[in-house]
Amino acid sequence: MKSEIADAIRLKHCPVALFWSKEKPHGAMQFQEGKWGCVMWLAIHAAKGKTAVSDAKTFGCVGGGVGLGFGNQYKNFPGGEEGFCYFLSRGNEKRDGGSELAQKIKPFLRDEAYGNFLHGERYIKYPELVSKFIKNLPITEIPQLYVVFKPLSAIDLKKEKPQSIILFVNPDQLSALVVLANYGRESNENVIIPYAAGCQTIG
């Protein structure tokens, strides 16, 4: 499948199609079960011309699992959803049982992840605001087994139905896409940037 938009704005990397599948594509790059990984790596892999895939056991991190449509994975975060709310804000160090839990999971974490678990990533000011953030997410469970990232040029529309198309752009290309999104519409609010992790905004 060819993208005239990609040609017009001269993309450096090929557009990526994200779609759902019952079957795992042969030879697709996939994280190991239970191992940490960033969903954005899967998207970049496809932008460089190769196929990548994820399922309910290989999505890399809980935020990625939520973003790709594998349900509320925050419940599986150490300390549950509350533990995640503290992790994304001020950290679990002063939360009841937080320091003890941190010691239990320390052998399984990279140093940076351990520090963030204790002291917080500080993306959102308070745990209560993180809880509201989670409640406002369109958490869903996809109807298929796999989420596939594939170069748009390799998509067969007779067999594959893209759920979204991902374009990696520079600021100038982004401004062109904003103009295009408003080209044939009556209103002038056709582009939004909802707050979420990168992996949650691409699916």
pLDDT, residue 200, reads 87
User: The domain containing residue 110 runs over which residues?
Assistant: 76-138
Judgement on whether residues 66 and 98 belong to the same structural domain of the protein: no
Instruction: Print pLDDT tens along the chain (203 aa).
Output: 899 999 999 999 999 999 999 999 999 999 999 899 999 999 999 999 999 999 999 999 999 999 999 999 999 999 999 999 999 999 999 999 999 999 999 999 999 999 999 999 999 999 999 999 999 999 999 999 999 999 999 999 999 999 999 999 999 999 999 999 999 999 988 998 889 988 888 86
Judgement on whether residues 82 and 20 belong to the same structural domain of the protein: no
107/181 Cα distance (integer angstroms) = 48
Residues of the chain by 3-state class (helix, strand, coil), percent to 5: 40, 10, 50
Judgement on whether residues 156 and 202 belong to the same structural domain of the protein: yes
156/153 Cα distance (integer angstroms) = 9
CA distances 112 to 23, 32, 192, Å, are: 35, 20, 32
pLDDT, residue 199, reads 85
pLDDT, residue 198, reads 84
Judgement on whether residues 87 and 50 belong to the same structural domain of the protein: no
- Asked whether the beta carbons of 117 and 110 are under 8 A apart, the reply is no
Judgement on whether residues 1 and 67 belong to the same structural domain of the protein: yes
Judgement on whether residues 64 and 156 belong to the same structural domain of the protein: yes
| Phi/psi of residue 13, nearest 5 degrees | -115, 155
Judgement on whether residues 5 and 66 belong to the same structural domain of the protein: yes
Judgement on whether residues 28 and 11 belong to the same structural domain of the protein: yes
pLDDT, residue 72, reads 97
Residue 185 lies in a domain: no
Judgement on whether residues 60 and 2 belong to the same structural domain of the protein: yes
Residue 109 lies in a domain: yes
pLDDT, residue 49, reads 97
pLDDT, residue 85, reads 98
130/150 Cα distance (integer angstroms) = 32
Judgement on whether residues 158 and 67 belong to the same structural domain of the protein: yes
Residue 67 lies in a domain: yes
pTM: 0.92
Residue 182 lies in a domain: no
86/91 Cα distance (integer angstroms) = 5
Q: Give the largest Cα separation in the chain, rounded.
A: 57
Judgement on whether residues 163 and 65 belong to the same structural domain of the protein: yes
- Asked whether the beta carbons of 42 and 52 are under 8 A apart, the reply is yes
Among 149, 164, 170, 153, which Cα is nearest to 3's?
153
Residue 127 lies in a domain: yes
Judgement on whether residues 103 and 25 belong to the same structural domain of the protein: no
CA distances 53 to 30, 66, 94, 145, Å, are: 5, 15, 38, 10
